[in-house]
Each structure stands twice: as structure tokens, then as C-alpha cells.
């Protein structure tokens, strides 16, 4: 068998394998979309597929809240290589309950590592990522110890309104945080902009994970209403 014939066979086999992979990926994508539609139909949610130039995924809506699970492509403008980065994100959000002022952040517990001044810088960078565009609402933010020992082993709370944080992190919300099924813990932000639960680096698609996020979001929203009403 000549080298040319061997090369053509390798190319043909590679082409077949690539075609099979594309078919499998496409079938899996269709199944996930069908499962999401079915889940939405059973729960009275509105399902919306997202296929945009730089974003793909899905959204669910019901009443006061929205969930979006997206892969977002960011193109680099620093060079001529036309390189791009894909980031995954799942976000539950609602603006129907808002803090009058200040902010409450609940996120994964971070190990206490002493890097001196560098450690403080790392901490502030992490906080800025969680706060996003609401830096003005986060002035004076500090870590506070709230909840049970079990919760404090999993989560950290940051706020500049400790009394509001105490009301927000009530028993039902603590229960849902402890029952959270995923290894990646969410970041909850309650601020004048509303309520947001973010899972960075993941686009959820499993039914049990989406249901857990909806339960956590609805519970957090009930807690936020109590803070808003001053109870």
C-alpha cells in the first residue's frame, strides 16, 4: 500500500469520526433543549433558547425572576490572532426586591491564607468580581459571621449592613444553601440593584440542578422581601 493510499485512508477515517462527533453533539444538544422545554412546561416557566453571535444557551422566566445559562465568547483585541475565550455562566436574578442601600454578599468559604499585603489585594479583587458594577453600594463592606457553624464552614458573608444581612440570611435560606447539590457554590448578591444568584464557570442543564437553583432563588427572594419590608 502506497503512502498516498495510506494517507487518504487516514483522512477518510478522520472525516468519518469528526462527522460522528458532530452528529452526537447535535443529538445531545437537541435532547437537552427538549428536556428543558418539558421541564418548563411542567412548571409553568417560559423557555427561551439563546443563539446569538457571541452567546448561546437558554433562559427561563416566571413571574418576578429569570434564569439564564450561557456560554459567552469574548474576542481578544490585544493582538491580531483573532483569539477568543468562552466563559460559562448561570445566573438567577430578580429586581422585584431591592435593598434601600448597602449590599449583602454570600459566597463560597475561602481559605485563610496569610499573604500579607498581597492577600488583602487578592481579597479585594475577589470582592470586586462579586460586586460587579455596584462598587458604590459596597463601600465599607466587611466579613461578618452569620448562620450556623456548618454554614460558616461552607460560606462567607460580606456586608456593610449587618442587621439587614441577619434578616436576609434566615433559617429557610440557610437550609437551601446547605442543601445545595453542586460542588460549585453560588454567589448571592442582594443590593439596590436587586437580587442575583450566580454560578460562575458552569452552564446548568440537569433538571435537579435547575430545580435546586429555582428553589434557592425563590427562598432568597422571600427573605429579601422581608428585609425590604423592614421585618
Q: What is the pLDDT of residues 81-120, one digit of tens each?
A: 566 777 899 999 999 999 988 999 999 987 665 545 545 5
Q: E-strand spans in 1-64?
A: 46-51, 55-62
Looking at beta carbons, which pairs linking 128-131 to residues 24 or more positions away fall under 8 Å? 130/105, 130/158, 130/187, 130/189, 131/103, 131/105, 131/189
Which position has the higher pLDDT, 120 or 191?
Answer: 191
Coarse DSSP helix, strand, coil percentages of the chain, rounded to the nearest 5 percent: 45, 25, 30
pLDDT averaged over every residue in the chain:
81
Report yes or no: 173 and 195 within 8 Å, Cβ to Cβ: no
The model's confidence at residue 55, banded by pLDDT at 50, 70 and 90, is confident
pLDDT at position 172, please? 96
pLDDT attached to residue 2: 56
**Residue range 113-141: mean pLDDT, rounded:** 63
Q: What's the burial of 15, exposed, middle or buried (CB within 10 Å: 0-12/13-18/19+)? A: exposed
Q: Please, what's the largest Cα pairwise distance for the chain?
A: 83
Q: Half-sphere exposure of residue 35, counting CA atoms within 13 Å on the CB side?
A: 13
Burial of 135-168, coded b for 16+ CB within 10 Å and e otherwise, reads eebbeebeebebbeeebeeebbbbbbbeebbbbb
C-alpha closest to that of 69 among 106, 36, 41, 34: 36
User: pTM of the full predicted structure?
Assistant: 0.78
Q: How far apart are CA 55 and CA 69, in angstroms?
A: 10
Question: Residue 158 above 50 pLDDT?
Answer: yes
Percentage, residues of the chain above pLDDT 90: 47
Specify the pLDDT at position 94.
96
Which grid cell sits at 112?
485563610
Pairing of strands 155-159, 194-200: unpaired
Query: 14-49, pLDDT tens digit by residue?
Result: 555 555 454 444 455 667 778 888 889 899 999 999
Q: Please write the tens of the pLDDT for every residue from 168-177.
A: 999 999 999 9
* Cell numbers representing residue 206 in the block: 440537569
Q: Which of 3-7, 146-150, 186-190 has the lowest mean pLDDT?
A: 3-7
DSSP string, 146-163: -S-HHHHHHEEEEES-HH
Q: Give the CA angle between residues 116, 118, 122 to the nearest 5°.
A: 125
| Least confident interval from 52-61, 151-160, 170-179 | 52-61
* pLDDT tens-digit readout, 95-104: 999 998 899 9
| Mean of pLDDT values over 76-83 | 60
Domain ranges of the chain: 1-44, 90-229
pLDDT at residue 41, rounded to an integer: 84
Output 139 or 210, whichever has higher pLDDT.
210
Q: Which of 1-10, 40-49, 151-160 has the lowest mean pLDDT?
A: 1-10
Amino acid at each position: 500500500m502506497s503512502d498516498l493510499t495510506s494517507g487518504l485512508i487516514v483522512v477518510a477515517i478522520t472525516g468519518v469520526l469528526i462527522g460522528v462527533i458532530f452528529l452526537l453533539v447535535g443529538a445531545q444538544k437537541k435532547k437537552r433543549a427538549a428536556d428543558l422545554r418539558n421541564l418548563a412546561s411542567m412548571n409553568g416557566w417560559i423557555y427561551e433558547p439563546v443563539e446569538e453571535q457571541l452567546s448561546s444557551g437558554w433562559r427561563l422566566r416566571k413571574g418576578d425572576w429569570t434564569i439564564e445559562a450561557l456560554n459567552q465568547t469574548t474576542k481578544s483585541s490585544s493582538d491580531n490572532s483573532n483569539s477568543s475565550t468562552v466563559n460559562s455562566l448561570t445566573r438567577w436574578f430578580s429586581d422585584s426586591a431591592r435593598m434601600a442601600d448597602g449590599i449583602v454578599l454570600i459566597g463560597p468559604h475561602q481559605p485563610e491564607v496569610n499573604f500579607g499585603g498581597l492577600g488583602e489585594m487578592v481579597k479585594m479583587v475577589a470582592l470586586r468580581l462579586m460586586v460587579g458594577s455596584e462598587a458604590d453600594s459596597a463601600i465599607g463592606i466587611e466579613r461578618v459571621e452569620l448562620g450556623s457553624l456548618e454554614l460558616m464552614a461552607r460560606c462567607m458573608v460580606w456586608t456593610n449592613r449587618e442587621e439587614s444581612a441577619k434578616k436576609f440570611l434566615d433559617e429557610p435560606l440557610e437550609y437551601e444553601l446547605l442543601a445545595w447539590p453542586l460542588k460549585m457554590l453560588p454567589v448571592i448578591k442582594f443590593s439596590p440593584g436587586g437580587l442575583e444568584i450566580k454560578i460562575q464557570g458552569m452552564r446548568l442543564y440537569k433538571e435537579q440542578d435547575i430545580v435546586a437553583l429555582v428553589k434557592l432563588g425563590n427562598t432568597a427572594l422571600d427573605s429579601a422581601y422581608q428585609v425590604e419590608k423592614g421585618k
